């Protein structure tokens, strides 16, 4: 009989969901939960920063969700907002229940390519989830060269406040802003783009993730500050089905975003996005 290690090394069919058991649920905000799931038997390969899984809620359906973190023992963390049927079912999971995971799929934030540069990471709302592992990887070797700008709708919608404090304590420059403040709020007020416009320190590379219009305005502000478009990456979301470049559901121009994205270099999509944004 094979050992667990043997089982874990068997190649995985990318179309077949692998069972993972929910081992922990972290309530991040009123409608956002991080599901921590551990392999029941065979584990999927580790996800790199920016990659996503297709998450199957049994009996309901399957949706793409970014991997917000991976533990060394193969546990996967998925931060999900309930917006519809499948995401609602995932957010409603209980500890002990099983989901099916496929992946990891997609391109990665090019951390190695930008190390040594002054990098700004801009996140809007849930956009911080796909950036979380990239920020970990950037901050760890060279925190003083990393600026993190995070925009949330309101203080109660802030994601991962412990991480933000941790990155700042390690030496990264962390700027938070909210659209609508309350009396206790001491951070910035306004959009993430407004905060980007206020940055004085020049940056040579940028990672940006959030709602599409937010990304477009942030990228324009970054370009005005001299961040080259070929050193700026964004993460684009489209509905997905197969996850492996077969069905065409996630097409954007010549790109299939499950395979050529979700992380793309801005100069490769700028024209397409600017036309769509008009």
Question: Which residues of this protein are in contact with ligand FAD, per CB under 6 A?
Answer: 52, 61, 63-66, 79-81, 83-88, 126, 129, 237-240, 262
What stretches of the chain adopt beta strand conformation (E)? 18-29, 32-39, 52-57, 61-70, 76-81, 98-105, 119-124, 146-152, 173-178, 188-189, 205-209, 232-235, 251-252, 255-256, 263-265
Question: Rounded to whole angstroms, how far apart are CA atoms 230 and 156?
Answer: 35
Least Å from the CB of residue 249 to ligand FES: 5
> Which CB sits closer to ligand FAD, 145 or 207?
207
Helices (H) and strands (E) counted in the chain, each on its own, are 9, 15
Task: Give the one entry of ligand FES, ligand FAD, none that residue 21 binds, where binding means its C-beta sits below a cut-off of 5 to 8 angstroms depending on kind.
Answer: none
Question: Rounded to whole angstroms, how far apart are CA atoms 76 and 133?
Answer: 12
Contact between residue 219 and residue 231 where contact means Cβ atoms under 8 Å apart: no
Question: Rounded to whole angstroms, how far apart are CA atoms 66 and 114?
Answer: 21
Least Å from the CB of residue 171 to ligand FAD: 27
Least Å from the CB of residue 255 to ligand FES: 9
Task: Record the tokens describing residue 138, joined without a space.
Answer: 């950037």
> Which CB sits closer to ligand FAD, 61 or 187?
61
Q: With CB under 6 A as the rule, give the number of residues binding ligand FES.
A: 12
Task: Give the one entry of ligand FES, ligand FAD, none that residue 237 binds, where binding means its C-beta sits below a cut-off of 5 to 8 angstroms depending on kind.
Answer: ligand FAD
Question: Rounded to whole angstroms, how far apart are CA atoms 123 and 211?
Answer: 9
Least Å from the CB of residue 276 to ligand FAD: 14
Task: Give the one entry of ligand FES, ligand FAD, none that residue 253 binds, where binding means its C-beta sits below a cut-off of 5 to 8 angstroms depending on kind.
Answer: none
Task: Give the one entry of ligand FES, ligand FAD, none that residue 121 binds, where binding means its C-beta sits below a cut-off of 5 to 8 angstroms depending on kind.
Answer: none
Q: Which of residues 221-260 bind ligand FES (CB under 6 A)?
A: 240-243, 245-250, 256, 258
Task: Name the residues that contact ligand FES, by CB under 6 A.
Answer: 240-243, 245-250, 256, 258
């Amino acid at each position: 009989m094979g050992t667990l290690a043997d089982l874990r090394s068997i190649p995985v069919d990318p179309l077949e969901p692998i069972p993972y058991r929910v081992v922990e649920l972290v309530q991040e905000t009123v409608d956002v939960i991080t599901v921590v799931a551990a392999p029941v038997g065979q584990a999927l390969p580790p996800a790199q920063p920016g990659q996503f899984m297709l998450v199957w809620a049994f009996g309901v359906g399957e949706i793409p969700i970014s991997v917000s973190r991976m533990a060394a023992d193969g546990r996967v963390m998925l931060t999900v907002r309930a917006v519809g049927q499948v995401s609602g079912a995932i957010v409603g999971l209980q500890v002990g229940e099983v989901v099916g995971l496929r992946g990891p799929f997609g391109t990665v934030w090019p951390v190695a390519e930008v190390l040594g540069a002054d990098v700004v990471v801009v996140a809007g709302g849930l956009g911080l989830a796909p950036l979380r592992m990239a920020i970990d990887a950037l901050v760890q070797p060279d925190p003083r060269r990393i600026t993190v700008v995070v925009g949330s709708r309101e203080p109660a919608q802030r994601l991962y406040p412990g991480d933000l404090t941790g990155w700042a304590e390690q030496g990264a420059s962390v700027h938070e802003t909210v659209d609508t403040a309350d009396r206790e709020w001491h951070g910035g007020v306004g959009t993430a783009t407004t905060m980007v416009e206020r940055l004085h320190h020049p940056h040579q590379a940028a990672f940006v993730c959030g709602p599409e219009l937010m990304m477009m305005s942030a990228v324009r502000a970054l370009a005005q500050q001299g961040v080259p478009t070929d050193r700026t990456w964004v993460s684009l979301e489209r509905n997905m089905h197969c996850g492996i470049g077969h069905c065409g559901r996630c097409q954007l121009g010549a790109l299939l975003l499950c395979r050529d994205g979700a992380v793309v270099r801005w100069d490769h999509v700028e024209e397409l996005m600017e036309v769509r944004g008009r």
